[in-house]
Amino acid sequence: MLLQQLINGLTLGSVYAIIALGYTMVYGILELINFAHGEVYMLGAYLGIILMGFFTATGVAGPGMSLALTVVFSAMFCAMYGFAMEKVAYKPLRNAPRLSPLISAIGISIFLQNFVMLTQGATDKVFPYQFGETALIISDVRMTATQVLIIAVSMLMMISLRLFVSRTRIGKAMRATSQDKTMATLVGIDVDMIISVTFVIGAVMAAIAGVMVAAYYGLVNYTIGYIAGIKAFTAAVLGGIGSIRGAMLGGIVLGLMESLGAAYISSEYKDAIAFVVLILILLVKPAGIFGRDIPEKV
């Protein structure tokens, strides 16, 4: 029972972690809570259903190949959404008072939710393919193929993101930009480009998370982005917003807490766990586990 909950929690937590990376990267560079980031994940999930349906119906490939193609194309579409979102809602407000971009972000979030509701319907959508049920059974603990896939892909993505940020030219420029935007401009970094790249990377990861979750649960609803977004944001704050390592750990810790909490405390208040954790962390240690306190400039 406990082991089963740990596996479920780890699956859930991996998803939170990769969405949280999007929040944390954008916050690191723009100090903006990209409130609409959860909606990109939701779009990714819907695209997963739409594209998987398309690929299986047209019979271009087998189920495994179809899923791979779905992930790739969903990521591409979401990359566009991420890119466009930044250009439309945030870039024009870069020098506006701090409330403005947050409100704009809320606007985008509502827009995308209703866009999907209007085009895809308000009822749950079903993932068009059932993957083989079980991969591993050890006594009464089951781990499905999709769970293995989710955990493996998430780990892979987190490792590649870390390598990308620490090794590549663009990754280094991202770190430079997050530390000091003016200096980054002075040393010749194209800050606009770096910001776009950040949004695109975040969106790609959210899209992959979305497709995997759609395949895992089999059901998708236009409201999943808001809830997952809040939880992933909680994960990012838990680990210390701005820290990539923190987002990963925060996601997994939150996933475990939620699945254990639902099993042993109360399943009705499952969604409240994230909120309570969020509030407590913000009040007790706002810098998170890995963040550091930044004194306000006078």
Partner 1 sequence: MILPAYLNTKIAKTVIAALLGAIMLLPFKGVLSSLILFAAIASVLTVISLSGKIRVPSAFSTIPAVIKRNKTCIALSLAGILAACPLVLNNYFIDVLIMAGIYSILAIGLNVIVGFTGLLNLGFAAFYACGAYTYALLNTKIGLGFWVCLPVSALLTSCAGFLLAVPALRLRGDYLAIVTLGFGEITRLILNNWDSLTHGPNGITGIEAPTIAGISLRDLHYYYYIVFGILAVSLLIIRRVEMSRFGRAWKAIKENEIAASTIGINTTKYKLFAFAFGSFWAGIAGMLFAAKMQFVSPESFTFMESVLILSMVILGGLGNTYGAVLGAFLLVMLPEALREMQLYRMLILGMGLVLLMRFRPQGLLGVK
What separation, in Å, do the N-terminal and C-terminal C-alpha atoms of the chain show? Answer: 53
Contact region with partner 1 (CB under 8 A), list: 140-148, 176-184, 191-199, 244-252:
191-199
- Binding pattern for the stretch 28-67 against partner 1, x by CB under 8 A and - elsewhere: ----xx------------xx--xx--x-------------
CA angle 73, 34, 90 (to 5 degrees): 90
279 counts as binding partner 1 under rule CB under 8 A: yes
DSSP 3-state of 209: helix
Q: Which of 41, 55, 77, 290 binds partner 1 (CB under 8 A)?
A: 77
**Shortest Cβ 76–partner 1 spacing (Å):** 9
Whole-number Cα distances in Å, 41 to 74, 86, 109, 275? 10, 15, 11, 19
Contacts of 80 (CB under 8 A, 6+ apart): none
Using CB under 8 A as the binding rule, the residues of this chain from 243 to 262 that contact partner 1 are: none
**Shortest Cβ 1–partner 1 spacing (Å):** 23
268 counts as binding partner 1 under rule CB under 8 A: yes
Rounded distance between C-alpha atoms, residue 171 and residue 56, angstroms? 37
**Shortest Cβ 31–partner 1 spacing (Å):** 8
196 counts as binding partner 1 under rule CB under 8 A: yes
- Closer to partner 1 by Cβ: residue 10 or 194: 194
123 counts as binding partner 1 under rule CB under 8 A: no
80 counts as binding partner 1 under rule CB under 8 A: yes
CA angle 251, 254, 260 (to 5 degrees): 140
By CB neighbour count within 10 A (0-12 exposed, 13-18 middle, 19+ buried), where does 249 fall? buried
Residues that bind partner 1 (CB under 8 A): 32-33, 46-47, 50-51, 54, 77, 80-81, 83-84, 88-89, 92-93, 96-104, 106-116, 118-120, 190, 192-193, 196, 226, 230, 233, 237, 268-269, 271-272, 275-276, 278-279, 282-283, 286, 298
